[in-house]
């Protein structure tokens, strides 16, 4: 683990953070560590969303709702079955 030091934090900000930590029954260090972990998680999520959004396959999939996709695939399967049945009796 590394230590992170933040300089020149205004007194009012430090007091507000300490009060929030106290209201949660946490030390300021534990509270700030949780805040940093949460921000890191959100940053990873945003990066994943950007990669997904930039993926052409994901863009194509997003253009069609799940219900529409299921309906289309059912229709295709039904047509394949009808084609197979009509081909086997001919």
Phi-psi map region of 7: left, alpha, beta (phi>0 left; psi -120 to 50 alpha)? beta
**pLDDT tens digits along 37-88:** 999 999 999 998 888 877 777 666 667 777 888 898 999 999 999 999 988 6
Two structure tokens written together for 2: 């590394």
Two structure tokens written together for 73: 């695939």
Distances (CA, A) of 68 to 28, 52, 62, 77: 50, 21, 11, 14
Whether pLDDT at 89 is above 60: no
Global pTM reads 0.56
**In terms of pLDDT, which residue wins out, 36 or 57?**
36
């Amino acid at each position: 683990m590394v230590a992170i030091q933040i300089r020149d934090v205004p007194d009012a900000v430090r007091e507000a953070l300490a009060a929030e930590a106290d209201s949660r029954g946490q030390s300021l260090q534990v509270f700030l560590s949780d805040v940093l972990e949460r921000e890191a998680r959100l940053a990873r999520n945003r990066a994943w969303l950007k990669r997904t959004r930039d993926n052409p396959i994901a863009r194509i999939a997003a253009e069609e709702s799940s219900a529409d996709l299921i309906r289309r695939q059912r229709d295709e399967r039904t047509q394949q079955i009808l084609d197979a049945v009509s081909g086997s009796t001919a």
